[in-house]
Amino acid sequence: MKATSPKIAQVVATNQPLVQALNTGVHTNQEVRQVVAKITGQAIDPSVEIRLPFYTDFGRHLQIGKNVFINSGVTFTDLGGIQLADRVLIGPNATLVSVNHPLDPADRRNLELKPIKVDTNAWIGANATILPGVTIGENAVVAAGAIVTKDVPANTVVAGVPAKIIKKIKEV
């Protein structure tokens, strides 16, 4: 996909002022959800809590379930799609990136889009990075500072760079 698509540019031009206004003002939780709903083009459930600042470079491919908590400074690069299931927790300054660029210098300005899925009741720790195409399984925990390059099975804890399984969690 070309990074300079007119449709992409139009969405970015619409959403970036909304993101900037969100992050430079004082807002109630309800106001935050209303602005994020405009950015994503989807209703945000009243059970969702989003701490500011909130960052997205696109916004329209971000799906947020119920009872989701997004802490301050989280960045969503969502052009490739990011899906947060119900009861997901995301720690401060985590980064979820669904976009990459080809290694070939001649194609580097193009985009490689791979969706991220964070399953029910998963927890992404502070400063963790989730890379394109990764699925975080149900009840899984990504430790603070981890860089996740491949899928995380349900009911496991991953840590490190690159993230590896360090513990199994009892199934709920």
Among all residues, which ones are annotated catalytic? Answer: 101
For tokens 């995380």, name the residue: 152
- Token code pair at residue 51: 């701490």
Q: How does strand 112-113 pair with strand 99-100?
A: antiparallel
User: Going by C-beta distance under 8 Å and a sequence separation of 6 or more, which residues neighbour residue 39?
Assistant: 15, 18, 19, 22, 56, 59, 60, 62
Find out whether 150 and 156 touch, Cβ atoms under 8 Å: no
Give the integer Cα–Cα distance in Å for 24 and 45. Answer: 23
3-state secondary structure of 42: coil
Alpha helices (H) in the chain, listed in sequence order: 6-24, 29-40
